[in-house]
C-alpha cells in the first residue's frame, strides 16, 4: 500500500514538474503575444486597458521597422547563398580525408559554432577593416554570419552523407557515368532533403542573429538590432506585434518540421 502511494507521489510530482517547466517556457511567449492587443501604450498585459488592433496597423506603418525587415531578409538571402555551397564543400572535403587529418580539419571547421558570436563579430570587423579598410554594414554582416552558419550547414550535410550507400556510386560508375555526372545525378539528388533543411536553418539563424550582427551592422539596422534598440530607447507594443508574427511563424514551422521528421522515420 505504501509503495503504491510513493509511486503515485512520484508520478504526480513528475507531472507537476512538467507543467511548471512548460509554463516557464510558454508563459513569457503568451504574455508577449497578448500585449500586442492591449490598448496600453507601454507593452503589458496587466492592467488590461482594452482590446485594439491599433498596434498592428502601427506596425505596418513603421518605416524604420520595415526597413530593418528588408535588411534582415537581404542578409539572410546572402548568408544562404554563401553558406550552403561552403557547408556542402566542407562536408565533401571532410569525408574525403583520412581519419587523422579529418579529425584536425573537423575541429577547425566546427570551431565557429563553439566560438561566442561576439568574438566572430570582432574578428571579422578587425580583419576587414585592417585589410580592406571596410566598416560595418550589410556586407560584413553577411560575412560574419556565414562563418558559423556554414559550419551548421556542414554538419547537416555530413549526417546525411554518412547514410549514403556507396554501392550506388559504384553502380553508376560501372554503367559508365563520369565523376561529374555522378555528382549531379546521384550525390546531389540524395542530398536534396538536407539542402532544403539547411537553407531553412541558415535563413532562420541569420534572421535571428544578434551577437555577431551587433558588431558588424554599422549604422544600418536589422530586425534584431531594431528590437534591441527599441527595448532600450522607446518601447511600444509595436514590438509585440513583431513578436506575435515571429511566434506565429515559428509555431507553423515547428509543427511542419516535427511532422515531416516523423514521416521520415
What is the footprint of other proteins within residues 85-124 (CB under 8 A)?
A: 85-86, 89-90, 92-93, 96-97, 103, 106-112, 114-120, 122-124
Nearest-angstrom CA–CA distance, 224 and 222: 6
Q: Tell me: does residue 140 bind other proteins (CB under 8 A).
A: no
Reduced to 3 states (helix: H, G, I; strand: E, B; else coil), residue 219 is coil
* 19 touching other proteins, by CB under 8 A: no
| Binding-site member from 169, 197, 220, 236 for other proteins (CB under 8 A) | 169
Q: Which of 65, 69, 75, 125 binds other proteins (CB under 8 A)?
A: 125
Q: Please, which of residues 225-254 interact with other proteins by CB under 8 A?
A: 227-228, 231-232, 239, 242-243, 246-247, 250-251, 253-254
The span from the CA of 229 to the CA of 137, in Å, is 17
149, 205 contact by CB (below 8 A): yes
Distance CA 157, CA 185 (A): 17
CB 208 within 8 A of CB 222: no
Residue 210 as a binder of other proteins (CB under 8 A): the answer is yes
From candidates 158, 191, 195, 202, binder to other proteins by CB under 8 A: 158
Q: Which three cell numbers stand for residue 57?
A: 496597423
Give the residue, chosen from 1, 2, 5, 42, that forms a contact with other proteins under the rule CB under 8 A.
42
CB distance 152 to 120 below 8 Å: no
Amino acid at each position: 500500500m505504501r509503495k503504491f502511494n510513493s509511486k503515485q507521489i512520484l508520478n504526480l510530482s513528475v507531472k507537476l514538474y512538467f507543467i511548471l517547466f512548460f509554463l516557464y517556457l510558454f508563459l513569457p511567449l503568451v504574455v508577449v503575444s497578448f500585449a500586442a492587443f492591449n490598448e496600453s501604450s507601454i507593452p503589458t498585459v496587466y492592467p488590461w486597458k482594452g482590446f485594439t488592433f491599433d498596434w498592428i496597423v502601427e506596425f505596418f506603418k513603421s518605416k524604420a521597422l520595415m526597413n530593418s525587415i528588408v535588411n534582415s531578409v537581404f542578409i539572410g538571402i546572402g548568408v544562404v547563398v554563401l553558406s550552403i555551397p561552403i557547408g556542402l564543400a566542407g562536408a565533401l572535403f571532410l569525408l574525403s580525408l583520412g581519419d587523422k587529418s579529418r579529425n584536425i580539419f573537423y575541429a577547425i571547421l566546427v570551431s565557429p559554432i563553439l566560438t561566442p558570436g561576439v568574438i566572430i563579430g570582432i574578428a571579422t570587423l578587425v580583419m576587414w577593416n585592417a585589410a580592406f579598410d571596410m566598416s560595418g554594414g550589410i556586407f560584413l554582416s553577411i560575412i560574419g554570419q556565414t562563418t558559423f552558419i556554414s559550419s551548421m550547414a556542414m554538419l547537416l550535410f555530413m549526417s546525411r552523407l554518412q547514410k549514403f550507400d556507396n554501392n550506388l556510386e559504384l553502380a553508376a560508375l560501372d554503367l559508365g557515368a563520369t565523376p561529374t555526372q555522378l555528382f549531379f545525378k546521384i550525390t546531389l539528388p540524395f542530398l536534396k532533403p538536407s539542402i532544403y533543411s539547411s537553407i531553412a536553418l541558415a535563413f532562420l539563424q541569420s534572421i535571428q542573429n544578434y551577437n555577431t550582427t551587433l558588431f558588424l551592422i554599422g549604422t544600418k539596422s536589422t530586425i534584431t538590432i531594431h528590437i534591441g534598440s527599441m527595448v532600450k530607447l522607446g518601447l511600444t507594443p509595436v514590438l509585440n506585434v513583431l513578436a506575435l508574427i515571429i511566434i506565429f511563424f515559428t509555431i507553423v514551422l515547428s509543427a511542419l518540421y516535427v511532422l515531416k521528421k516523423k514521416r521520415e522515420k
